[in-house]
Amino acid sequence: MMKMKQVRLSEKILPAFHDFWRANKKGDHLYYVLKGGRNSSKSTHVSIAMIYDLMRYPVNMLCIRKVGNTLQESVYEQLLWAIEHLGVSHLFETKRSPLRIRYIPRGNSIIFRGADKPEKIKSIKTSKYPIARLWIEELAEFKTEDEVSTIVNSVVRAELPQGLNYKIYYCYNPPKRKQSWVNKKFESHFLPTNVYVHHSTYRDNQHVSEAFVQEVQEVKKKNPLKYKWEYGGEPIGSGVVPFTNLVFRRISDDELSTFDNIHQGIDWGYGADPFSFTRWHYDKTRRRLFCLDEIYGVKLSNRNVAGEILKRGYQTTETIADSAEPKSIDELRIDYGIRIKGAKKGPGSVEYGEKWLDDLEEIVIDPQRTPFTAKEFEDIDYQTDRDGNIKNRLEDKANHSIDSCRYATESLWTESEVWTMERPW
């Protein structure tokens, strides 16, 4: 390994990023996700990590943005800043056509590509050193996760020599919409073990100008929601959080054995539209709802579903299913002996059922037992009209377990005096 010029990195890394730096040096993760508000120095610290590793390891690196002509004024200039900031300019050769940064003592490089021409990414090959670092800047510019996965798979495709590992850096400001794929993936309690996530704001950057801080304070006074999103890096969605009563925690087997007020629901699905069966316990005294189990998936036939319900011994507890599929209800009841009937539904029932759920003291979900239900409840947002005004109803997508829960608990909220007086049918 080439000997590096000694640099006091403790003076270069901001205190709020010490944890990121320790995680990066340890190298136990594949993905390092740096997200947050404007001017929080996310890209600054990724650029330092890239230059540091380029000097330490015999690897090449690839920097990506959605649009190629934005590379020079963003990640390229940021990396040049990092080289100068670390005091190692004499060790690097830089080119602008095509963009490239080369570490002179060893000859390994940083390459730059735009994702607007994905074939150029797929065809990248380097003979002497493997590409083992990938930095995707402004991750939220990509419309789908598949676009990003294609790039990642083009890089992480071969076993590296002993002592080397892959690292993938993502930087972005979270989109406003909670159901953006980026937010659903990383604004979550349920992250894979190979993912490290760091969140930062301008308050973590001691080098921001006084003028910038004054601007932020003005926005905070005039538009608190914009402040939370743009400067706090929070995906505010509609601006109102559904289900503030969610509790994600472990439900033990001992606790499970005490539950006896059981309710089950089904939201039908097939093909690309998921099927969802959920099983719940309702603690009426404390107004707490517990999610106990789920059957969730696409292309699940009625035979498959019935087999799972019978295998788990849930057939004797009545299940309330979406009444839109009476043939499926009849098949499960007549052919497989499962206690099941259709939901009453009716005008206003969706909104009232959602309101009843939101008004509970707690909705307790164990992500290990019911991961799909947990993710849907965590990600859901309210519908908005074209002007951004909030509607009194949840978004009608990625809500299959929520609908299943609403059907399961229909008898509980239709017993409500308010519902009895207000229902129009």
Distances 151 to 39, 90, 196 between C-alpha atoms, Å:
27, 32, 19
Exposed (0-12), middle (13-18) or buried (19+): which is 117, by Cβ within 10 Å? exposed
In Å, what is the CA distance from 318 to each residue of 277, 337, 338, 423?
12, 11, 8, 24
- The identity of residue 2, as a single letter, is M
73-97 burial, b at 16+ Cβ within 10 Å, e below that, comes to: ebbbebbbebbeebebeebbeeeee
Structure tokens at 158: 């071969």
Is 138 considered catalytic here?
A: yes
CA distances from 261 to 280, 286, 408, 412 (A): 8, 13, 12, 11
Beta bridge partners of residue 112, listed in sequence order: 63
| Nearest Cα residue to 295 out of 272, 322, 317, 268 | 268
Alpha helix (H) residue ranges in 202-331: 210-222, 224-226, 253-256, 302-311, 326-330
CA dihedral 224, 228, 230, 235 (to 10 degrees): -130
Amino acid code (one letter) for 406: R
Question: What three-state secondary structure class fits 256?
Answer: helix
Of these residues, 138, 187, 331, 376, which one is catalytic? 138
How do beta strands 31-36 and 60-65 pair? unpaired
* Helical residues (DSSP H) of 295-380, grouped into ranges: 302-311, 326-330, 349-359, 371-379
Q: What tokens does 308 get? A: 């799972």
d(CA 76, CA 90): 17
- Six-digit token string for 381: 């947002």
Which tokens is 228 given? Answer: 């939370």
CA-nearest of 113, 135, 107 to 49 is 135
C-alpha span between 396 and 276 (Å, rounded) = 15
Between the alpha carbon of residue 66 and those of residues 23, 140, 144, the distances in Å are 27, 9, 12
Residues assigned a catalytic role: 138
